[in-house]
Amino acid sequence: MTMTDPIADPIAGAGDTLDAPSTMPDVPLPLREWRPLPARAHRVFLIVALIVTVPPAIAATIVLSGTSGALLWLKIAAVWMLALSLAFWVARRRHRYTFWLLDDAGFAVRRGRMWQWETRVPTSRVQHLDLKRGPIERAHGLASLVLHTAGTRLSAVSISGLEDADAEALRDHFSRQIDRQDDDDHA
Protein backbone atom coordinates (compact mmCIF):
# COMPACT_ATOMS: atom_id res chain seq x y z
CA MET A 1 0.00 0.00 0.00
CA THR A 2 1.50 3.33 -0.99
CA MET A 3 0.81 6.79 0.28
CA THR A 4 0.35 8.39 -3.13
CA ASP A 5 -3.14 8.85 -4.46
CA PRO A 6 -3.25 11.40 -7.28
CA ILE A 7 -6.68 12.70 -6.26
CA ALA A 8 -6.58 12.55 -2.47
CA ASP A 9 -2.89 13.31 -2.00
CA PRO A 10 -1.89 16.83 -3.10
CA ILE A 11 1.76 15.86 -2.88
CA ALA A 12 1.73 13.06 -5.43
CA GLY A 13 5.04 11.34 -5.66
CA ALA A 14 6.07 12.28 -2.12
CA GLY A 15 4.95 9.03 -0.58
CA ASP A 16 7.15 6.18 0.41
CA THR A 17 5.64 2.80 1.02
CA LEU A 18 3.87 3.15 4.35
CA ASP A 19 5.44 0.09 5.90
CA ALA A 20 8.96 0.67 4.57
CA PRO A 21 11.61 1.59 7.12
CA SER A 22 12.98 5.10 7.00
CA THR A 23 15.88 5.67 4.63
CA MET A 24 16.77 9.14 5.82
CA PRO A 25 20.02 8.32 7.68
CA ASP A 26 21.44 7.03 4.35
CA VAL A 27 20.34 10.17 2.50
CA PRO A 28 22.47 13.28 2.94
CA LEU A 29 20.60 16.24 4.34
CA PRO A 30 18.99 18.46 3.17
CA LEU A 31 16.21 16.60 1.37
CA ARG A 32 14.21 18.31 -1.33
CA GLU A 33 10.90 16.45 -1.27
CA TRP A 34 7.93 16.41 1.05
CA ARG A 35 8.09 13.36 3.30
CA PRO A 36 5.07 11.67 4.91
CA LEU A 37 5.00 10.36 8.44
CA PRO A 38 5.57 6.61 8.94
CA ALA A 39 2.61 4.23 9.29
CA ARG A 40 3.36 3.72 12.98
CA ALA A 41 2.51 7.37 13.56
CA HIS A 42 -1.11 6.59 12.69
CA ARG A 43 -1.30 4.12 15.58
CA VAL A 44 0.13 6.70 17.98
CA PHE A 45 -2.30 9.37 16.76
CA LEU A 46 -5.16 6.88 17.19
CA ILE A 47 -4.16 6.05 20.76
CA VAL A 48 -3.96 9.76 21.61
CA ALA A 49 -7.34 10.44 19.96
CA LEU A 50 -8.90 7.57 21.93
CA ILE A 51 -7.43 8.92 25.17
CA VAL A 52 -9.14 12.24 24.39
CA THR A 53 -12.53 10.89 23.23
CA VAL A 54 -13.15 7.96 25.59
CA PRO A 55 -13.52 9.94 28.88
CA PRO A 56 -16.35 12.15 27.50
CA ALA A 57 -18.02 9.00 26.14
CA ILE A 58 -17.78 7.39 29.58
CA ALA A 59 -19.25 10.54 31.17
CA ALA A 60 -22.09 10.60 28.64
CA THR A 61 -22.76 6.89 29.31
CA ILE A 62 -22.97 7.56 33.06
CA VAL A 63 -25.36 10.47 32.51
CA LEU A 64 -27.51 8.43 30.13
CA SER A 65 -27.56 5.47 32.53
CA GLY A 66 -29.38 7.63 35.05
CA THR A 67 -32.27 8.04 32.63
CA SER A 68 -34.80 5.50 31.55
CA GLY A 69 -36.43 4.83 28.27
CA ALA A 70 -36.86 2.29 25.56
CA LEU A 71 -34.03 3.74 23.50
CA LEU A 72 -31.45 3.95 26.30
CA TRP A 73 -29.09 1.34 24.83
CA LEU A 74 -29.46 2.88 21.38
CA LYS A 75 -28.46 6.30 22.76
CA ILE A 76 -25.45 4.81 24.56
CA ALA A 77 -24.41 2.95 21.40
CA ALA A 78 -24.75 6.18 19.40
CA VAL A 79 -22.51 8.04 21.87
CA TRP A 80 -19.81 5.37 21.62
CA MET A 81 -20.07 5.13 17.83
CA LEU A 82 -19.69 8.90 17.59
CA ALA A 83 -16.70 8.97 19.97
CA LEU A 84 -14.89 6.10 18.26
CA SER A 85 -15.64 7.41 14.76
CA LEU A 86 -14.31 10.82 15.73
CA ALA A 87 -11.11 9.30 17.14
CA PHE A 88 -10.49 7.20 14.02
CA TRP A 89 -11.26 10.13 11.71
CA VAL A 90 -8.97 12.59 13.54
CA ALA A 91 -6.09 10.08 13.69
CA ARG A 92 -6.39 9.23 10.00
CA ARG A 93 -6.52 12.86 8.90
CA ARG A 94 -3.66 13.87 11.14
CA HIS A 95 -1.46 11.10 9.79
CA ARG A 96 -2.41 11.24 6.13
CA TYR A 97 -2.10 14.99 5.70
CA THR A 98 1.07 15.79 7.64
CA PHE A 99 4.29 16.16 5.68
CA TRP A 100 7.70 17.62 6.38
CA LEU A 101 10.49 18.98 4.22
CA LEU A 102 14.09 19.94 4.77
CA ASP A 103 15.75 21.92 2.01
CA ASP A 104 18.45 24.56 1.61
CA ALA A 105 16.15 27.27 2.98
CA GLY A 106 15.21 25.40 6.15
CA PHE A 107 12.51 23.16 7.58
CA ALA A 108 8.83 23.10 6.64
CA VAL A 109 5.76 21.33 7.97
CA ARG A 110 2.54 21.01 5.95
CA ARG A 111 -0.71 19.92 7.55
CA GLY A 112 -4.23 19.60 6.28
CA ARG A 113 -5.97 18.94 3.02
CA MET A 114 -8.79 21.37 2.49
CA TRP A 115 -7.28 24.04 4.72
CA GLN A 116 -3.58 23.57 4.32
CA TRP A 117 -1.35 25.01 6.99
CA GLU A 118 2.31 25.28 6.08
CA THR A 119 5.03 26.59 8.35
CA ARG A 120 8.53 27.22 7.08
CA VAL A 121 11.40 27.89 9.46
CA PRO A 122 14.57 29.32 7.89
CA THR A 123 17.68 27.62 9.20
CA SER A 124 19.04 30.97 10.37
CA ARG A 125 16.06 31.43 12.72
CA VAL A 126 16.50 28.17 14.64
CA GLN A 127 17.75 28.98 18.15
CA HIS A 128 17.63 25.53 19.70
CA LEU A 129 15.67 22.33 19.35
CA ASP A 130 14.21 19.54 21.42
CA LEU A 131 13.41 15.92 20.78
CA LYS A 132 10.48 14.66 22.81
CA ARG A 133 9.56 11.02 23.22
CA GLY A 134 6.55 10.16 25.33
CA PRO A 135 5.93 6.57 26.38
CA ILE A 136 3.56 5.89 23.47
CA GLU A 137 5.99 7.33 20.92
CA ARG A 138 8.94 5.44 22.43
CA ALA A 139 7.01 2.18 22.21
CA HIS A 140 6.51 2.80 18.48
CA GLY A 141 10.03 4.08 17.69
CA LEU A 142 8.86 7.64 17.07
CA ALA A 143 9.74 11.10 18.33
CA SER A 144 8.52 14.71 18.23
CA LEU A 145 10.83 17.44 17.01
CA VAL A 146 10.42 20.98 18.38
CA LEU A 147 12.31 23.81 16.68
CA HIS A 148 12.51 26.93 18.82
CA THR A 149 12.76 29.99 16.64
CA ALA A 150 13.59 33.66 16.81
CA GLY A 151 11.66 36.45 15.18
CA THR A 152 8.66 34.44 14.02
CA ARG A 153 4.99 34.62 14.80
CA LEU A 154 5.20 31.39 16.75
CA SER A 155 8.12 30.79 19.04
CA ALA A 156 8.26 27.05 18.30
CA VAL A 157 7.35 24.73 15.46
CA SER A 158 6.78 21.07 16.27
CA ILE A 159 6.01 17.90 14.42
CA SER A 160 4.99 14.64 16.08
CA GLY A 161 5.25 11.13 14.71
CA LEU A 162 8.69 11.31 13.09
CA GLU A 163 10.80 8.18 12.80
CA ASP A 164 13.30 8.20 15.66
CA ALA A 165 16.20 8.10 13.19
CA ASP A 166 14.74 10.95 11.12
CA ALA A 167 14.23 13.11 14.21
CA GLU A 168 17.80 12.47 15.37
CA ALA A 169 19.18 13.22 11.89
CA LEU A 170 17.22 16.49 11.81
CA ARG A 171 18.44 17.35 15.31
CA ASP A 172 22.04 16.71 14.29
CA HIS A 173 21.63 18.71 11.08
CA PHE A 174 20.23 21.74 12.90
CA SER A 175 22.77 21.42 15.71
CA ARG A 176 25.56 21.67 13.15
CA GLN A 177 23.85 24.68 11.57
CA ILE A 178 23.48 26.40 14.94
CA ASP A 179 27.15 25.70 15.74
CA ARG A 180 28.19 27.18 12.37
CA GLN A 181 26.08 30.28 13.03
CA ASP A 182 27.65 30.68 16.46
CA ASP A 183 31.13 30.33 14.96
CA ASP A 184 30.29 32.91 12.27
CA ASP A 185 28.88 35.31 14.89
CA HIS A 186 32.00 35.04 17.04
CA ALA A 187 34.49 35.31 14.19
Check residue 40 and give its pLDDT. Answer: 94
Check residue 93 and give its pLDDT. Answer: 95
What fold characterizes domain 32-37+100-186? PH-domain like (2.30.29)
Average pLDDT score over residue span 68-87: 92
pLDDT for 109 beyond 70: yes
Check residue 167 and give its pLDDT. Answer: 92
Average pLDDT score over residue span 23-40: 71
Check residue 184 and give its pLDDT. Answer: 66
Average pLDDT score over residue span 11-23: 39
pLDDT for 6 beyond 80: no
pLDDT for 129 beyond 80: yes
Check residue 95 and give its pLDDT. Answer: 96
Confidence of residue 9 (pLDDT cuts 50, 70, 90): very low
Would you say the C-alpha torsion 98, 39, 160, 176 has a positive or negative sign?
A: negative
pLDDT for 77 beyond 90: yes
Q: Where are the beta strands (DSSP E) in the chain?
A: 35-36, 98-103, 106-111, 117-122, 126-132, 142-149, 156-163
Predicted confidence (pLDDT) per residue in 99-108, tens digit: 999 988 889 9
Strands 156-163 and 126-132: unpaired
Average pLDDT score over residue span 1-13: 38
In percent, how much of the chain has pLDDT > 90? 49
pLDDT for 140 beyond 70: yes
Average pLDDT score over residue span 47-64: 96
What is the residue type of 87?
Answer: A
pTM of the prediction? 0.75
Cα gap 39→110, rounded to integer Å: 17
Write down how long the chain is.
Answer: 187
Average pLDDT score over residue span 44-58: 97
Q: At a CB cut-off of 8 Å and minimum separation 6, what does 58 contact?
A: none
Q: In whole angstroms, how far apart are CA 74 and each of 34, 70, 80?
A: 45, 9, 10
Check residue 106 and give its pLDDT. Answer: 87
Check residue 153 and give its pLDDT. Answer: 63
